[in-house]
A = this chain, B = another copy of it.
Amino acid sequence: MKRPTIADIARRAGVSKGAVSYALNGQPGVSEATRKRILSIAQEIGFNANSAARALSGARARAVGLTLCRPARLLGIEPWFMGLISGFEAELGERSYALTLQVVATPEQEVEVYRRWWGERRIDGVIVTDIRENDIRIPVLQDLQLPAIVIGGPGDTGPIAQIWSDDAGAITEAVRYLVALGHHRIARVSGPPGLLHTQNRTKAFEGVCVSLGLDNALTIPADYTGEEGSRATRRLLIGGDKPTAIIYDNDVMAVAGLAVAQEMGLSVPGDLSIVAWDDSPLCSLVHPPLTALSRDISAYGAQAARELLNAINGTKVGNVEAGRVHLTPRGSTAPPR
């Protein structure tokens, strides 16, 4: 089955290729009558512009790239990325941009993928996640002049726009809530300490604990996986000065923490309160359902996609804060016994 081209349309409409191109792209240079005729022929024969030809003639590839840099076993379970992806899609699909995905193991590989994509002209821009301090990807993107949007921050990303959510406000709300319930010994199991938003959260957590007079606020670093979440939880719960509440930096670790508590015969929330950062269906799935810091990840992704498309189209893009994070209390938090 031969794919229809603008030449086919031109032949049937009795005009030149150029006229068809103008008509299809809403450019001036054709009469309204001709434009209508051309559009209806295009519709009739099911015409879709060859994306390669379009991309080749200086225009856009009409695709954006996303690299996923997580170990495979975590990728599957963490709802975060899929939430983001479905948010991107909602926005990209509408403007018929495609999303190109690549799973990588290290930031170095990520840089290589960016370079290749750029060289191949495969994409018009990229979405950058899991930003670190002095992230090696930033200078490369600047060098390639590849439009980009950074998810996570705030931090120093030079001219590349960022979008972030109010981590400090969120953790303040969570700690205040736990304190209001009567908790004094609150611990936190964090994500990878190299990540910028982990650092921001840690700073904020320590700040609010000091300001509320909690002196033994402890953050144990982990890596978002269930294994490390369990390990960190065990470490916290076998100590003498056990916390009565733990805040986890993602849902997976929180669920793992809940399992450890149950396994050790502790009652949740009686003996231990649990708060998960980033709500997801996972949190409501377990028993008791987990109190969580919720934000609309899909909307977050959609906003990021919009900003990226703006950056691609040359609109000046500033740093933006995404929608608010709020605490969703569920069964995993209560006053300590």
Q: Which one of B74, B115, B122, B255 contacts A286 once the chains associate, using CB atoms below 8 Å?
A: B255
Interface residues on A, range: 35 or more
- Residue picked from A72, A226, A263, most chain B C-beta under 10 Å: A72
The CA of A94 and the CA of B49, in the complex, are separated in Å by 29
Do the beta carbons of A76 and B72 come within 8 Å of each other?
Answer: no
Q: Which one of B52, B74, B255 contacts A121 once the chains associate, using CB atoms below 8 Å?
A: B52
Chain B residue nearest to A281 in the complex (CB): B77
Q: With A72-B86, A96-B116, A100-B98 in contact, do A282 and B51 touch (Cβ < 8 Å)?
A: no
Docked complex: A53-100 residues within 8 A CB-CB of B:
53-56, 61, 63, 72-77, 79-83, 85-86, 89-90, 93, 96, 98-100
List the B side residues contacting A56 at CB < 8 Å: 50, 52-53, 56
User: Within 8 Å of chain B (Cβ to Cβ): is A287?
Assistant: yes
Chain B residue nearest to A92 in the complex (CB): B102
Q: A275-291 CB contact bits vs B (8 Å, 1 = yes)?
A: 00000111011110100
Docked complex: A103-123 residues within 8 A CB-CB of B:
103, 115-116, 118-122
Q: Besides A1-B145, A76-B79, 17 other CB < 8 A contacts?
A: A3-B118, A3-B121, A49-B120, A50-B119, A51-B122, A52-B53, A73-B281, A74-B281, A75-B86, A77-B79, A85-B101, A86-B103, A89-B103, A99-B102, A252-B285, A259-B287, A286-B286
A-B contact pairs, 15 of them (CB 8 A): A1-B145, A46-B119, A47-B119, A48-B115, A48-B118, A49-B120, A51-B52, A52-B54, A72-B83, A82-B82, A89-B102, A101-B101, A226-B281, A226-B284, A258-B286
